[in-house]
Chains A and B, each alone.
Chain A
Amino acid sequence: MKVRTFGRHIREGGKNIVRNGWMTFASVSAVTVTLLVVGAFLLLIMNLNHFANSLEDDVEIRVFVDLGAGEEEQESLREDLDDLPEIGSVDYIPKDEGLEAFIDSLGEQGDYFEGLRDENPLNDTFVIRAEDPQETENIAVEIEELDHVEGVEYGRDIFEQLFSATDFIRVVGVVLVLGLLFTAVFLIANTIKLTIIARKTEIQIMKLVGATNSFIRWPFFIEGLLLGTFGAIIPVSVLGFGYHRFYETIGENTGLEFFEFLPTFPLVIQTAILLLAIGAIVGVWGSIMSVRKFLRV
């Protein structure tokens, strides 16, 4: 295509947008609302994922060795553990070390337990991390069956609740977002249909004098692209500034050690690019849907 022709297509596409003021407004608004919700869910889900990942990294299985187990038995247990598939790492914490860490972690109050050093009540412990944190539970069950194991401990409850919460939010988000996306596509398709009807004679003449279909399609394609991209501007800026403010005031110092929000950058940039892309795709999709019918001879 020649550059001059491309310029013409952009001009024509722009003209259509101005000519159908209200429908343009309606479809841009639809995209705006859709992308606001999409973007908010994106930010939420990305933060939840981040949270889930950081928790998952902390998930470990503590295997308490039988108090009566001697050195040989411990050695054979260790071999059994190493033989398990899906094991990421195995650390050994002898009971003296465990007690030391325990006393240290209590600070001054730890002094009360100094007396325990003579008669250590703790077990020797293996600390195990699964290769895939989601497998933690299965591995724990397997370990429980091994010899010389007194007990197994892992953060089962938090873990399961976390996974079901993130799954729920993902499902709700996806359903809502898909519904809104279709509404936006539909509105854009209708807007462009109006501009096509307004230009019916023009298109008829274009076809008669030998314009190719792609030549006729281009202005509508550009119109859709512009509608979708315009619709993304407000959500991108609102969510961008909003998240930035939120992160500066609350997000950075939640006072919760285990929960930290993702920093503004690059999260906001990624979201912006994604929203602009979705806007553009929705716009183009709407325009292609409505033009297709009119171009059949």
Chain B
Amino acid sequence: MIQMQDVWKTYPNGVMAVNGISIYIKKGEFVYVVGSSGAGKSTFIKMMYREEKPTRGEISIDGDNLATMKEKHIPFLRRKIGVVFQDFKLLPSLSVFENVAFAMEVIEESKANIRRRVMDVLDIVRLKNKARFLPHELSGGEQQRVAIARAIVNNPAVLIADEPTGNLDPDTSWEIMHILEEINDRGTTIVMATHNRDIVDSMRKRLIAIEGGRISRDEVRGTYSYES
């Protein structure tokens, strides 16, 4: 599903964020990406949805080669990838329903399709009863669930979550994790960058640790730190 072959990224200002990473993530996997701030984790994640372009190396997602991809093809890559952020990135003037529908409108889906599909995903994130609410009327956890609904509404093959629990309290974080696990069970590949030690250690998944722009550990059921 996701393949990186000796990928390097040096920013124009000389910062070497990623220094030779190779990974393979299978379809349907759930992967944590951990690492301290500035370790290159963000760049690693951003290259997956082509927010950043690698300086060197090969990246392919679901058969698309990102290194040689033309600019105008990027929108079609993004339709196969859902992205969730720490700060939700909802549009404040739109209702929950409209925020989720937005992702389908911009790829020109029909009204009937949108209505049906949006209610389906709101059901998955358990917000069907709050479809008419505005984002500021919701709790942080609920807002993140709206963002997740928006990310999966177009049936992406991969869901990328960049510290999705970073702004949430522990209980709410667990709520989000259960939803992500449920989405993963339906077959969506999930890559999640996180700093949350509790979650990583108790909900064991494949773990990729990044340090100094390189992969320092890649374990099948890893823990946040080296097990002593």
Which of chain B's residues has its CB closest to A216's CB?
Answer: B106
Residue count of chain A within 8 Å CB distance of chain B: 19
The minimal Cβ–Cβ distance linking B4 to chain A, given in whole angstroms, is 19
Q: Are A212 and B91 in contact (CB under 8 A)?
A: no
The answer, yes or no, to whether B49 is at the interface (CB within 8 Å) is: yes
For residue A201, which residues in chain B have a CB less than 8 angstroms away from its CB? Answer: 89, 91
Q: Indicate with 1 or 0, residue by residue over B70-91, a CB within 8 angstroms of chain A CB atoms.
A: 0110111111000100000101
Q: Are B106 and A297 in contact (CB under 8 A)?
A: no
For residue B49, which residues in chain A have a CB less than 8 angstroms away from its CB? Answer: 208
Q: In the bound complex, how far is the Cα of B101 from the Cα of A206, in angstroms? A: 12
For residue A210, which residues in chain B have a CB less than 8 angstroms away from its CB? Answer: 75-79, 106-107, 154
Q: In the bound complex, how far is the Cα of B72 from the Cα of A241, in angstroms? A: 49
The answer, yes or no, to whether B174 is at the interface (CB within 8 Å) is: no
The minimal Cβ–Cβ distance linking B108 to chain A, given in whole angstroms, is 5
The answer, yes or no, to whether A106 is at the interface (CB within 8 Å) is: no
Q: Are B89 and A209 in contact (CB under 8 A)?
A: no
Contact residues of B between 91 and 121, Cβ < 8 Å to A: 91, 102-103, 105-108, 111
The answer, yes or no, to whether B198 is at the interface (CB within 8 Å) is: no
Whether A209 touches B107, Cβ cut-off 8 Å, given contacts A201-B89, A201-B91, A202-B91, is: yes
Q: Are B51 and A209 in contact (CB under 8 A)?
A: no
The answer, yes or no, to whether B150 is at the interface (CB within 8 Å) is: yes
Main secondary structure of the interface of A (DSSP, over half): helix
Whether A207 touches B78, Cβ cut-off 8 Å, given contacts A212-B72, A213-B72, A215-B106, is: yes
Q: Are B79 and A205 in contact (CB under 8 A)?
A: no
Q: Indicate with 1 or 0, residue by residue over A198-226, a CB within 8 angstroms of chain B CB atoms.
A: 00011011111111110100000000000
* Of A2, A205, A297, most B-chain CB atoms within 10 Å: A205
Q: In the bound complex, how far is the Cα of B113 from the Cα of A235, in angstroms? A: 47
The answer, yes or no, to whether A117 is at the interface (CB within 8 Å) is: no
* Of B77, B89, B111, most A-chain CB atoms within 10 Å: B89
The minimal Cβ–Cβ distance linking B12 to chain A, given in whole angstroms, is 14
The answer, yes or no, to whether B50 is at the interface (CB within 8 Å) is: yes
For residue A4, which residues in chain B have a CB less than 8 angstroms away from its CB? Answer: 108, 111
Contact residues of A between 1 and 50, Cβ < 8 Å to B: 1-2, 4-5, 8
Q: Are B50 and A211 in contact (CB under 8 A)?
A: no
Contact residues of B between 33 and 53, Cβ < 8 Å to A: 49-51
* Of B78, B106, B108, most A-chain CB atoms within 10 Å: B106
Q: In the bound complex, how far is the Cα of B108 from the Cα of A206, in angstroms? A: 12
For residue A211, which residues in chain B have a CB less than 8 angstroms away from its CB? Answer: 75, 106-107
For residue A1, which residues in chain B have a CB less than 8 angstroms away from its CB? Answer: 108
Q: Are A209 and B150 in contact (CB under 8 A)?
A: yes
Q: Are A213 and B108 in contact (CB under 8 A)?
A: no
Q: In the bound complex, how far is the Cα of B51 from the Cα of A297, in angstroms? A: 7
Q: In the bound complex, how far is the Cα of B49 from the Cα of A207, in angstroms? A: 11
Q: Are B78 and A5 in contact (CB under 8 A)?
A: no
Q: In the bound complex, how far is the Cα of B77 from the Cα of A213, in angstroms? A: 13
Q: In the bound complex, how far is the Cα of B76 from the Cα of A201, in angstroms? A: 20
* Of A5, A208, A211, most B-chain CB atoms within 10 Å: A208
7 more CB-based (< 8 A) A-B contacts, given A204-B89, A206-B106, A209-B150: A202-B91, A209-B78, A209-B102, A210-B77, A211-B75, A215-B108, A297-B71
Interface residues of A (CB under 8 A from B): 1-2, 4-5, 8, 201-202, 204-213, 215, 297
Interface residues of B (CB under 8 A from A): 49-51, 71-72, 74-79, 83, 89, 91, 102-103, 105-108, 111, 150, 154
For this complex, 11 residue pairs linking A to B, each with C-beta atoms less than 8 Å apart, are A4-B108, A4-B111, A205-B103, A207-B78, A208-B49, A209-B102, A209-B103, A211-B75, A215-B108, A297-B50, A297-B71
Which 6 pairs of residues, A with B, have the shortest CB-CB distance? Answer: A210-B79, A211-B106, A210-B78, A209-B103, A210-B75, A212-B75
